[in-house]
Amino acid sequence: MILAIINGLITSIILETIILSRQMTIKIAFQTALTMSFISMLAMEIAMNSVDWLILGEAKLVWWIVPIMLLTGFLTPWPYNYYRLKKYNIACH
Per-residue pLDDT of the chain (93 residues; tens, 9 = 90+): 788 788 888 988 899 899 989 998 999 989 888 877 788 888 988 999 899 899 998 888 899 999 999 999 999 988 888 887 787 776 655
Q: Is the pTM here over 0.75, yes or no?
A: no
Q: How far is CA 73 from CA 16, 20, 42, 78, 80, in A?
A: 17, 22, 10, 10, 13
Give residue limits of the domains in the chain. Answer: 2-87
SS3 per-residue string spanning 35-65: HHHHHHHHHHHHHHHHHHHHHHCCCCCCHHH
Query: What pLDDT is attached to residue 7?
Result: 87
CA–CA gap between residue 27 and residue 47 (Å, rounded): 29
